[in-house]
Every structure is written in structure tokens, then in C-alpha cells.
Copies of this chain bind each other. A is one copy, B any other.
């Protein structure tokens, strides 16, 4: 009987190139936008004892592909007290011919981090103003690092302005990103960051609006990454009414548990105003129309991204 291959994180990292990840995630967002991905609503398990956490199960297939993917991703907020990342998990690749598992990707949640960052960078690029002064990052966690890195790299930008509530975490962020070669400055208030930057990425677990309409400059593009349940919020709902380009990775998810949902529930805009990020990436829908428009990309994370990166690893491994 065949042993099921298990691919450890170091081997996963070794077989992926950043450009391939970006291409795969871009294709995934486009496929999802076109309706070519089969992905039922994710499963969510809430745990409260012995620790508080959530496990999200995303799964599906690119229609017609010879594999499908099941991704199990946990988020346990108190893991930091144990010296562990809050995020962990793995991905399974299974045969669409027989249903049998073909490999386990023991990625410890890394592929989720990376596919999220890649989608954020693509969403940043597609709505960015012609001249990006600096990338404004709100938040100081793992995604605050990855989003800055992937977006700066894709746009050829070196300047980052960061805002965080905890001064120690801000200082650590500046250290880490400076070591990576970025010019990082600190904003003491979000308002100051919004005054200095015309490309903003939010990566916090906030439960109230941080980015207020009146603080945002004309021509700014905002990528909202942090809000992934109805109780979280990063953007002033009034921003959605003012914005002229609203892009979503998945309309139903963003209305249900993204920042867009707050604006829709408050009756400030119709959800018809949002367009599929994938169709914008494909050139089939407009993103930014005018230099002075405020544009927003609201991302909640979709199974198509997981399917794309897991399939990429599997193809590399089997020499496809």
C-alpha cells in the first residue's frame, strides 16, 4: 500500500518562486471571477476550551482540473503566549479522478499567509495611482510585513509608512522591514499616515473603523485585508459611498463578512457597486477610472487562492 507523501514546509518553500505564486494567485482570482472555480462555503469550527480559536476549512477545485484541494487553517489568538504563531494548518491535494488524497502539504499555515499577501499585492497594483508616494501599512503583524514586501516588490516601491497601536511592535516592525531593505517611517496617528500615502493596506483585527473618510486623500487606493468576520471593521463605511471603484475577491463573502458588508448593511451603497477583482485583473471590468478617484479592494480570502498554491506545489513536486 502506497504511503501518502507529506511535504514539509522547507520543501514547500524551496519549490515555489514568488513570480509563480503571483501568477497562480492572479489566475485563481480571474478564474473565480469568471465562475470557473467550484468552492462551496467554508466550514468554520469555533473552539473555546482549552483555548479560544477558530478552524476554517476551505475546499474546492478549478473546474475540470485533475485534483481538488482541502485547506485546514487554524487561528488561535493566544498562541503568542506560548511563543507560537496564531496561524497554523495544512493543505490536502486529492485526485479528482478517484477522490483519494495524493499529498499532504504540511505548510504550518505559510501557504495561506503567502497566498493572502500575493492577492493583496495584486489588488494593490490593479487600483494603485500612477505614482505611489509610499505604501501605508496599518497593522504590525505577519500580514503587515508580507503585504508591504509583496506590494513594494510588485510596484517597485521602497518607502513604507507604518501605523500600529503598540509602540514595541511598531519598533520591531521597523527593525524587521529595514533589515529587508525598505525605508520605513512611523506615523503616530492614522490620519498622518493617510496624509502621506496614496496606497493604503489595512491588516488589523480591528472591530471598528480605523480609516475615516475625511482623512483619505483624493486618488488614494485602499486594500482592506483584515476584516474576515462580521464583527471586524477597518474602513469607514462612508468611504464606500465616496469611492468610485470597489473591487471584491468574492461579492457574497465581502457582503457577509468583509468591510463592504458594513456599508451595505447601513444602506450606504448597493452591493451592485462592487466589481469582481478577478474580472478587473482580467481587464474585463474597470478598476480605477480617474486619477482623483478613491478606490477600494476588499479581500476576505477565497478557496481559489488555496487551490492555486496547493496545486502549484503539487505540480512542482511531481515534475508537472
State the A residues within 8 Å of B (CB).
1, 3-4, 6, 8-10, 38, 40, 42-47, 49-51, 53-55, 57, 59-61, 63-64, 66, 68, 70, 72, 74-76, 79, 82, 84, 87-90, 92, 94, 96-101, 104, 106, 108
Contact = CB atoms under 8 A, between A and B. Distances in A.
Contacts of A47: 38, 61, 68, 96, 99
A4 B1 contact: no
Contacts of A94: 55, 72, 74
A57 B70 CA distance: 9
5 contacts: A1-B9, A38-B46, A45-B59, A51-B97, A104-B104
Contacts of A53: 96, 98-99
A82 B64 CA distance: 19
B97 A101 contact: no
A3 B99 contact: no
Given A59-B43, A94-B72, A94-B74, A79 B99 contact: yes
A contact patch SS: strand
Contacts of A45: 38, 40, 59-61, 68
Copies in the complex: 2
A38 B89 CA distance: 20
Across the A-B interface, the 5 shortest Cβ-Cβ residue pairs: A74-B99, A88-B100, A76-B99, A4-B106, A43-B43
Contact of A101 (B9, B54, B90): B90
A98 B79 CA distance: 6
A10 B1 contact: yes
Contacts of A88: 98-101
Contact of A59 (B57, B79, B106): B57
B72 A50 contact: no
A53 B10 CA distance: 33
Nearest to A38: B45
Contacts of A61: 45, 47
A105 to B, nearest CB: 10
A258 B82 CA distance: 45
Contacts of A104: 4, 6, 90, 104
Nearest to A61: B47
A72 B55 contact: no
Contacts of A75: 99
Of listed A38, A40, A72, residue having the most chain B CB within 10 A: A72
Contacts of A79: 98-99
A55 B76 contact: no
A44 to B, nearest CB: 7
Contacts of A50: 64, 66, 96-97
B74 A106 contact: no
Nearest to A4: B106
